Amino acid sequence: MTDFLSEEEEDFMAGGDLGEGFGRKPGGLYEGPDETTAKAFKVRKGSGSLHYHLIKKGEDDGNKRHHVGKCSASEERETVRPSRESYMRCRQNSIDASSEVSSEDLKQRLQDLTEEVEILRVELEASQRQLDGKDEALKILQNMAVFDKATSHTKVMLQKAENQRRVLEKVSLTYIHTYIHTCTCCHFIPI
């Protein structure tokens, strides 16, 4: 993948940039381009592999670097867990960056997010009601299917009973006719 990218694009991607060259990462609040963030990561090429290094604020391209990862076409990606000191520095930088945003902007953002959450809550409730309605309709259809099956079974049983009644009626009539015929031939009339 890195064979197809220019060195400038590799720099942006190494820093987690969205690809616009401003050093912006997903989920951040930004007012304008920040050149220092875009240049915080540098790509080092050596020994057939790429090394990504984080350059600390106020440092030059010297020896003091944190190793972020190592990647090449033949090697698997390795990640190095940052030290507690670098975590605290990163957290402090994050706090400093967020304090630069005005409280009015934060209040407006909170208001917007609250409205969005309320809209999503209402949509979720409507979806839940719709789902409940569909569940009830499914239960009704299942009950109708069971009733139809029972009704068709009952109809089949009634048809069989009707056929048996007809057969018995025919047999009875045949038997009665035979009996009457036998009695008349013998001139015997039963009492």
Ordered per-residue pLDDT tens for the chain, 191 residues: 444 555 555 555 555 555 555 555 555 555 554 444 444 444 444 444 444 444 444 544 444 444 444 444 444 444 445 556 665 666 666 555 556 678 889 999 999 999 999 999 999 999 999 999 999 999 999 999 998 888 988 999 999 999 999 999 999 888 888 888 777 776 655 55
Domain-wise residue ranges, the chain? 2-101
Torsion region of 44: left, alpha or beta (phi above 0 gives left; psi -120 to 50 gives alpha):
beta
How far is residue 58's CA from residue 76's CA, in Å, rounded to a whole number? 32
Task: Output the DSSP codes for 63-82.
Answer: S-EEEEEEE-SSS--EE-PP
